[in-house]
Amino acid sequence: MSTLNHPNIHQLTRNTIALILAGGRGSRLMEMTDWRAKPAVPFGGKFRIIDFPLSNCVNSGIRKIGVLTQYKAHSLILHIQQGWGFLRGEFGEYVELFPAQQRHDEDSWYKGTADAVFQNIDILRTRGPEHILILAGDHIYKMDYGAMLADHVEKKADLTIGCIEVSLEEATAFGVMDVDDNRRVKAFVEKPENPPVMPGRTDTALASMGIYIFNAGFLYEQLIKDADTKRSTHDFGKDIIPSVIEKYMVNAYPFLDLQSGAQSYWRDVGTIDAYWSANMELIGVDPNMNLYDKNWPIWTYQEQNPPAKFVFDDDDRRGEAVDSMVSGGCVVSGAKVRHSLLFSNVRVNSYTTLQDSIVLPQVNIGRHCRITKAIIEKGCEVPEGTIIGENRADDEKRFRVSPGGVVLVTPDMLGQKLRYVR
């Protein structure tokens, strides 16, 4: 596997354009994506999901980045404009928005992941990249794409697919690769009932992360061919990748820690349960996703807020937070917060207990509430005395309860005026 010592890695990253596919509906996140695209969903106390692939690009030395938007994109667009305008155009650096805009078709919507890139093929050609890195905008991980680029070049690949090792049970939810001992892809199957196992293993498969590196000229050829194929769904996983495996060099790149060789952290937060679990993992003493890593910072836009504050110190009215993450602007006023994550400008009032919960920005939780294993959506005004997470039947009458028992609460469910959620 390639290392960070590849002699031309800086030149490789400079001659690469990254395209982040950020137009998906994210319908499995239910009401959380009613008014925002999935990549714009808040995560980790102060970030948005899209901040992770964007930060990976910048930290990897890739500073030519296009974000392809579509579904309910205003929140996403505003976030990128406010938080990602620091790259210098004078040096050929940019984070640029590529909305669906009828460049090659009267139908303004992107028909699939491959069509989204095809619709912008003329823009890509004028930029003249050597390689094009295609990323999903809705996964949580930290990855040096430079190492993957170096591996792509050393293998003389036409296409390299980033992949993770998963159990055979998990593999049925992914695009799965069958590879030989040299990591050359022999087959690619979407959500197989019987996934092919990795060489030398009996219980592990290689699943696609939705990360692709193409040689630019090769990508253009395949996009044009796919656009002319009437029966195609215009998707990388379903159409383009299976069509090129036999004739071209398609390489699998396992996402492993370069020092230890262990599987690196990657999470698909596409469901309420997965989103809750990934946020809860951050609270641990030694989480696999380290947000405090100064060598690989995650950038975002954030308002200027005052420090978090904890007030009152009476025996029955003490403002405290234990095993929790609390963002700026929060006030914990005579309440107990345990193993929870509070985004910015949250107020938790006296005699309330909050346990195993995620509270998005600008929420006010009234007095004498008991809330357990919940996600409180942005802007909620939780009434005094509200009990959530103790009786599933009662919760299901008012709120959204996930298969794993996570209770999602929105302003609309509380009978409050539904407003635009950014």
Binding residues for alpha-D-glucose 1-phosphate: 110, 175, 190-191, 208
CA 45, 47, 48, 52 torsion: positive or negative?
negative
What pairing do the DSSP bridges indicate for beta strands 94-99 and 325-326? unpaired
Residue 152: count other Cβ atoms within 10 Å of its Cβ: 27
AA identity, residue 48: R
User: What residues pair up with 348 in beta bridges, in sequence order?
Assistant: 332, 365
Compute the residue count for the chain.
422
**CA–CA dist 354, 337 (Å, integer):** 5
Q: Which residues are annotated as a binding site?
A: 110, 175, 190-191, 208
Q: 261 exposed, middle or buried (CB, 10 Å; 0-12, 13-18, 19+)?
A: exposed
Amino acid present at 397: K
CB 20 within 8 A of CB 14: no
Distance from C-alpha of 357 to C-alpha of 352, rounded to nearest angstrom: 13
- Other beta carbons within 10 Å of 102: 10
In a 13 Å sphere around the CA of 345, the CA atoms on its Cβ side amount to 12
Strand 159-167 versus strand 266-268 pairing type? unpaired
C-alpha 239/C-alpha 232 separation (Å) is: 6
C-beta atoms surrounding 280 within 10 Å: 18
d(CA 119, CA 108): 10
